[in-house]
Amino acid sequence: MSEAMVQADGLVKIYKTRETEVLALQGLDLTVETGELTAIIGNSGSGKSTFLNMIGGLDRPSAGKLMVDGRNLFAMTEKELIRYKRDTVGFVWQNNGRNLVPYLSVLENIMLPMQFAHAGKRKARALELLDLVGLPDKRQSRMNTLSGGEQQRVAIAIALANSPKLLLADEPTGSVDARTADYIFDIFRELNSQGQTVLIVTHDVALSRKVKRVVAIRDGKISSERILRQSYADRLKESDIDWRSEETQEEYAILDRAGRVQIPREMLDELKLNDSRLRVRIRDGEVVLSAPEDEISVRERVR
């Protein structure tokens, strides 16, 4: 992997209404290398979907910079942005109705984004994608005859129609059963093995624990990253692994450019802090955080 596909620097997003302002992103920094399969996780309102929409060219920041495939996304003209959304990124939504035209056949849906290609090439590409998602026998079916999982697989094929450099997926398994979710993840993994860069937003614990790199967003910033342990990376297709309960990844806190790190709430609760102050020390090569000493004892020492 020679260069970054996504480079986000200090992204800030403020949504304003007449009565309030919501800070969705608070200086988010993230790099996704070309050829990576990365998952983004976080609670509702953490900013993960806002970030994905920015990469997809659907939203703009209040401040910050976003480079995708070596280009400044927020310096593009409207025409350049339309071309970017057509050729550089493919988007798979949780609500697959945003990808699908119900009165067209499966084959016609997949061919639709390729309207500027020669008809023969469009059909050949669409059939190739139908094979990829495991639906070659559904080419003439109408969308309303397909199951939810089949519709989502068609949506993935549509997102890949113009061979995008970056595939974005927002909760792609949120509306399907566990077996279909596994199948969909296998499609993403196969695409990634062929060099496709994939960025997934997900709440699916089992899916996220199969991804080699998982980025957690909390309060609009990157709070931690999880890296898949090699012992599990070699066993992704094994059925005897409980991906929801086993600790398949190592978790690392992320130090931002100002030297700040987010501390998980459960750790802070154990310290039983009375305010926002912490003692920070270096001990045997480790950074140790502890609650402040009692105020009275501190004053006594000063005297």
CA distance 128 to 132: 6
**Residue-wise pLDDT tens digits, 231-250:** 888 787 777 788 878 888 99
Judged by DSSP in three states, 211 sits in: coil
Q: What average pLDDT does this structure show over 82-93?
A: 91
Report the predicted TM-score, pTM, of the whole model to 2 decimal places. 0.85
Closest CA to 160 of 148, 169, 149: 169
Q: Could you tell me the pLDDT band of residue 31, with boundaries at 50, 70 and 90?
A: very high
Q: Residue 129 has which token pair?
A: 């994608």
Distances (CA, A) of 123 to 53, 72, 114, 129: 29, 33, 9, 10
Q: Radius of gyration of the chain from Cα atoms?
A: 23
How far are the Cα atoms of 202, 207, 209, 266 from residue 248, in angstroms, in the given order? 17, 11, 6, 21
Give the three-class secondary structure for 184.
Answer: helix
- DSSP character at residue 142: B
Spell out the residues 6+ positions from residue 61 whose beta carbon is closer than 8 angstroms to its own: 11, 12, 13, 25, 54, 74
Q: Which residues pair with 65 in a beta bridge?
A: 9
Q: How confident is the model at residue 303 (pLDDT cuts 50, 70, 90)?
A: low
* Whether pLDDT at 1 is above 50: no
The owner of tokens 């992103």 is 25
- Is residue 53 scored above 70 in pLDDT? yes
Mean pLDDT of the chain: 86
Whether 296 has a pLDDT exceeding 50, the answer reads no
What's the CA angle centered on 95, arms 89 and 99, to 5 degrees?
Answer: 45
Mean pLDDT across the stretch 122-143? 92
**C-alpha distances in Å from residue 245, one per residue of 11, 206, 236:** 33, 8, 15
